[in-house]
Amino acid sequence: MTPRLVVEGLTKRFGGLVAVRDLGFEIKAGEILGLIGPNGSGKSTAMKLIMGIERPNQGSVRLDGAEMAGLPAHRIARAGVGLVFQHSRPLHRQTILENIKLALLPDSLFRLAADHSATARAREIGARVGLGAVLDRYPQTLPFADLRRLELARAIARDPKLVLVDEPFAGLTPTELADFSALIAGFREEGRAVLLVDHNVKGVAALVDRVVALYLGERIASGTAAEVMRDAKVRAVYLGGSIEAHARESRGTEAAPLLEVEAASVFYGKAQALQEVSLSVRAGEFVSLVGLNGAGKTTLFNAVSGLVPYQGRIVWDGRPLGGMTAAAVARAGIVQCPETRELFGEMSVQENLDLGGQHQPVGETRDRLAGLFDLFPILKERRTQAARTLSGGEQQMLAIARALMMNPRLLILDEPTLGLAPVILEQLSKALERLRETSDITVLLGEQNVTFALSHADRVYVLEHARIIWQGPPSRFAAEAGAGYL
């Protein structure tokens, strides 16, 4: 069978960054291909190149033999490509039926109104995706899952040959996930080719026919879902290496919980990002929260830090945190080092560190700064250098040091290894071990890199699709949770 979509040598550069490099794959009619990879791997860029939202620097995108690369998005859509966006974008003043009818409007400026058959066709499409009973309602009155159904309806309104689906399962409950999977599987039965983009292979394994895994813009593996999950390169990217528990003397095992999270739930609009999550961290413990991108780690940390509203209860040293501002939470001793680092790029290393310690006594700040320069010697060498000119690893060290300048009782580290070279990972690992040996600090570490997370944990929690699915000591992770992590 001739492939419906053929991608060859697709490359996209943003300045000096190569977001997609020499990417190639094929999809046949009636086939679902999964495109997976961690954040920054190039998945979304690849989809935008196929849809015409971005123009490739080189390469070919052919739909039924016709070249699409470099064409504007509206011409590619007209040729038979539909896109299901990750985030729902309905027109809130129009009903669900009217939203679908708008997707059926003709392309000609001389025919700005749909013909009489459009209403009947829109109703058919609505029923096809499970919206038949709510066509006369407005988007703001619908649950999150129905808004995702609306995105599906609009994408297939023109009867596309190829459907691009971006992160379809984010924010869905298990029941909704099953329903959505059935809808996408129905595209296969209708003879459409489907490109399904997701963070991990486990989430799409039961649905896709084949998988292509990306990392740093390049294809690192392809095959069936089972083959890709077993691939050594894929497991190294997601896990950080082989899953091993390092022998360590546990701390805080007898202490009362310093932090208790009880049935915490978080919604972003109608999307549930955290579902009744409970965990505890004892004084002096290093606890790792392991989960793939999109699992909810950052959302949980932001809830603890007072950055997002939540349902449930979060207790710090016996005191409920509900209603406290982020500044008050930080002053109480909980300091988060965010995944995005949030450094002041035009300020020097010294100035960034001074900001972290501005509310501390001068004598303590001076001693702490000396200790941090001893912990991260490169920062002392770079103390007058602008933060934006540091390497990624140096910026990560600065972000952690700035957080430590606040003298936290609990340090929350969100994906500290993201995008770091192995030599920097080793330096960061040694710094954490030294911090553990020389202080009584408590650490809550959020990581996708399992190898790094296990080596710095007294206890481990696994977060998947907004819920805790496993907890225990690192020594039991490989046997009980490791095989199913991807």
Rg (CA), the chain: 25
Predicted TM-score (pTM) of the model is 0.71
More confident: 188 or 256:
188
pLDDT beyond 80 at 199: no
Three-class SS state of 52 = coil
Determine contact, residues 155/76, Cβ cutoff 8 Å.
Answer: no
Q: Which domains does the chain have, with CATH numbers?
A: 5-239 (3.40.50.300), 257-482 (3.40.50.300)
* Largest pairwise CA distance in the chain: 79
More confident: 119 or 250:
119
Q: What is the pLDDT of residue 106?
A: 64
Q: Which long-range contacts (CB under 8 A, 24 or more apart) does 18-21 make?
A: 18/217, 19/45, 19/217, 20/45, 20/46, 20/49, 20/56, 20/217, 21/216, 21/217, 21/218
Residues 218-236 have a mean pLDDT of: 88
Percent of the chain past pLDDT 70, that is, above it, reads 93
Percent of the chain past pLDDT 90, that is, above it, reads 49
Please report the DSSP string for 216-285 in residue order: TTEEEEEE-HHHHHH-HHHHHHHHSSS--PPP----SSSSPEEEEEEEEEEEETTEEEEEEEEEEEETT-
Q: What is the pLDDT of residue 347?
A: 93
pLDDT beyond 60 at 108: no
Tell me the two tokens of residue 485: 């992590």
Residues 394-412 have a mean pLDDT of: 93
pLDDT beyond 50 at 205: yes
Residues 221-248 have a mean pLDDT of: 77
Quote the CA–CA distance of 292 and 465 in Å, as a whole number.
9
Beta bridge partners of 164: 83, 195
Please report the DSSP string for 183-226 in residue order: HHHHHHHTT-EEEEEES-HHHHTTT-SEEEEEETTEEEEEE-HH
Quote the CA–CA distance of 455 and 134 in Å, as a whole number.
51
Task: Give residue 88's pLDDT band: very low, low, confident or very high (50, 70, 90).
Answer: confident
Tell me the two tokens of residue 115: 């013909």
Determine contact, residues 421/453, Cβ cutoff 8 Å.
Answer: no
Tell me the CA distances in angstroms from 164 to 4, 82, 201, 209, 421, one per residue in order: 13, 6, 17, 15, 32
Residues 357-368 have a mean pLDDT of: 80
Q: What is the pLDDT of residue 109?
A: 45
Q: What is the pLDDT of residue 283?
A: 94
CB atoms within 10 A of CB 107: 10
Q: What is the pLDDT of residue 245?
A: 56
Mean pLDDT of the chain: 87
pLDDT beyond 80 at 419: no
Quote the CA–CA distance of 421 and 393 in Å, as a whole number.
8
482: which DSSP letter? I
